[in-house]
Amino acid sequence: MIFDTHTHYDDEAFDCDREELIESLPAGGIGRICNIGATFKGACDSLALAKKYPYVYAAVGIHPDEVAELDEVKFSAIREMAKHPKAVAIGEIGLDYHGFDRYENKPSKELQQYWFERQLDLAVEMDKPVVIHSRNAAADTMDMMKKAHDRGLKDAIIHCYSYSREQALEYVEMGYYIGFGGVVTYEGQKKVTKALQGIPLERVVLETDCPYLTPLPYRDSSHGTDFVRNSSLYLPAVRDKIAELCGRTPEEIEEATWANAHRVYRIPL
């Protein structure tokens, strides 16, 4: 079975068939998923899905692009949500420096860093793993993660990894995990491939980030970046590509990443 460590089934892209799709996952070889909060509403909805389905878990947190909505009242509510046994992580949290010249309402670097640190501290306080989003912010993310590690942050997934092999190894040395999804199936992803091949399989987890980052062949590459909805049912394509790149069998990748996901999220096998 496959563990999809990063989904967004609360997204409006699934409004037409959410229950039908989630209920179809076990028959499609997807044994467990973790639905990840990005907004405050998304955190609430993720926990609701986790309560409804025995094979669904939740991460509760606020994405860096959404931290302008955070205040002390909502932060306290996230702390309460994180106490639920099906809330297995704080996430997705982090830094996103992409698009400051394009999006006038994008939260400043300072505001992102403030709430990133607050949510990292919440994870340390509650002894929870974190799910990290980092885009165009490699140095600042690494710096803040090292400081959090020194404060006692035990477990993390660096989601949708896009940085260097050397930085991936730094995260691995801290005991953290690296998330790989549909991007590994795209042409020209040399940096991602090198990072994947340069770290131990024991630190790799599978993810979709659905409804985004649909893997080939389900994504029609002839249409460039046109949106094609992703789902956990497409993860075998990612598993098989990772097996090819790492010189392993698909069964080895599936077995290892299943165990890794349970370990990082502290879910009994």
Peptide bond between residue 211 and the one before it cis (omega within 30 degrees of 0): yes
Q: Could you tell me the pTM of the whole model?
A: 0.96
In the chain, where does DSSP find H-type helix? 18-24, 40-52, 72-81, 109-126, 138-151, 165-173, 190-198, 235-246, 250-265
Q: How is the chain split into domains, by residue range?
A: 2-265
pLDDT at residue 37, rounded to an integer = 97
218 Rama class: left (phi>0) / alpha (psi -120 to 50) / beta: alpha
The tokens for 268 are 């009994």
pLDDT tens for the chain, residues 1 to 269: 999 999 999 999 999 999 999 999 999 999 999 999 999 999 999 999 999 999 999 999 999 999 999 999 999 999 999 999 999 999 999 999 998 878 888 999 999 999 999 999 999 999 999 999 999 999 999 999 999 999 999 999 999 999 999 999 999 999 999 999 999 999 999 999 999 999 999 999 999 999 999 999 998 654 445 679 999 999 999 999 999 999 999 999 999 999 999 999 999 98
Q: Give the CATH number of domain 2-265.
A: 3.20.20.140
Which residue type sits at 147? K
The whole-number pLDDT of residue 220 equals 67
Alpha-carbon distance of 195 to 192, in angstroms, equals 5
Q: Are 34 and 89 in contact (CB under 8 A)?
A: yes
CA angle 68, 69, 70 (to 5 degrees): 90
Handedness of CA 85, 91, 187, 142 (dihedral sign): negative
DSSP 36: E
User: Left if phi > 0, otherwise alpha if psi is -120 to 50, otherwise beta: which for 228?
Assistant: beta
pLDDT of 221 reads: 52
Do the beta carbons of residue 73 and residue 97 sit within 8 Å? no
Other Cβ atoms less than 10 A from the Cβ of 157: the count is 30
Rounded to whole angstroms, the Cα distance separating 261 from 102 reads 36
Look at residue 102 in the predicted model and tell me its pLDDT. Answer: 83
pLDDT given for residue 100 in this prediction: 85
